[in-house]
Amino acid sequence: MKILILGNSDIFRRKIYFALKKLKNIEIEIASKKKINNNLKINKHYFSYKEAIQKTEAKIIYISLVNSAHYYWGLQALNNNKHIIIDKPLTIDFKSTKKLLNLAIKKKCFISEAIVFHEHKRFQETLSKIDLNKKTKIFCKFHIPQLKKNNFRNYKKYGGGCFQDMSPYASYLIYIFFNDKKYSLLFKKRTNNKRLVDSFNLSVKSKNITLKGSFSFNSIYKNEMTINNKSRMYFINSVFSPPINKQLNLEIFDYFKGKKYKIKYIKENIFRTYFSKVFKIIKAKNYHNFYKEIEDIAKIKKKISQN
């Protein structure tokens, strides 16, 4: 199977490439004006995105460009009958996402936003242990230090800012914990002198569940989630960006027994897990659930932005 990567991004070099290389019979092509690291084994290098999309034999295109370019190149890929996977955010507004989704449905192509944290075995097993019909309180923080000055996320014209970068996480949390439930939503944001959102907080409540989230740029690094359910507290560190080369723990405190213990998980390359799932879905041509998920997530993001 061939896959074309649009953009020689940092996440491609650090995570995507190594995840794909762990899968069998995968040929990686790339379209980039940048020089490719000689240590990366790339089957073909294009210097033009347009040429790459038109000439590649790959049926799947992974778009890893600045946020503002996601919609345009997603459109070009779909118009050339390619399946697309796009770095978060899928697009920077609801209207653009809806257009991509409608075109994907028309072309019978797969479309996905590359959010993977909830695919991790540790996260999945945590969900299997809790009862969302019982009173549940969820607290999460994702804060990152100040970005380098030349990082595209610092610029409005490139679709930068904390909201575009981190609202997909918030949207997926609401989708996971409040799907098919009535809920209220409060959202507060802070903007900087460039008119970019550099932090936001949200509070989501349903009959049994409360979620409070804090997301920011330019802060001390935090990446964690705590879930209080029945008589237990579950603590997940590195929740939104689990490292691919480190054994992770799930910490559990049992209030009733007064005991704390850890469950250790083997090292998992979460992008490998994600790509393996995606390739099976594409092979089976079973896209309906992904279409619905894309639309539901887009509606949640729109709802957050309008508060």
Beta-carbon contacts of residue 2 (< 8 Å; ≥ 6 apart): 26, 27, 28, 29, 43, 56, 57, 58, 59, 60
- pLDDT, position 37: 74
- Please report, as a single letter, which amino acid is at residue 307: N
Residue pLDDT, tens place only, 66-88: 999 999 999 999 999 999 999 99
Count other Cβ atoms within 10 Å, centred on residue 188. 11
Distance CA 110, CA 99 (A): 14
- pLDDT, position 21: 94
Q: Give the start-to-end residue ranges of the domains of the chain.
A: 2-114+272-285, 117-268
List, in sequence order, every residue forming a beta bridge with 204; answer none if it has no partner: 185, 211
List, in sequence order, every residue forming a beta bridge with 249; answer none if it has no partner: 264
Two tokens at 24?
């069998």
Cα 27 off chain centre by: 23
Residue pLDDT, tens place only, 217-272: 989 999 999 999 999 999 999 999 999 888 999 999 999 999 999 999 988 999 99
Can you give the pTM of this predicted structure?
0.95
CATH number of 2-114+272-285: 3.40.50.720
How big, in percent rounded to 5, are the helix, strand and coil portions of the chain?
35, 30, 35
Element (H, E) at 136: strand 136-143
Residue pLDDT, tens place only, 53-71: 999 999 999 999 999 999 9
Query: Three-state DSSP class for 94?
Result: helix
What is the length of the chain? 307
**Closest of 154, 170, 164 to residue 239, by C-alpha:** 170
Distance CA 53, CA 6 (A): 9
Contact 290, 100 (CB under 8 A): no
Task: Could you please state the CATH topology (level 3) that the domain comprising 117-268 is classified under.
Answer: Dihydrodipicolinate Reductase; domain 2 (3.30.360)
| Distance (Å) of CA 95 to CA 166, 169, 292 | 19, 19, 16
- pLDDT, position 276: 96
Q: For strand 232-237 and strand 222-229, is the pairing parallel, antiparallel, or unpaired?
A: antiparallel
Two tokens at 260?
């704390």
| Tokens 């790459």 -> residue | 52
Contact 300, 185 (CB under 8 A): no
Count other Cβ atoms within 10 Å, centred on residue 94. 16
- pLDDT, position 188: 97
- pLDDT, position 196: 93
Residues of the chain with pLDDT under 50: none
Distance CA 101, CA 109 (A): 9
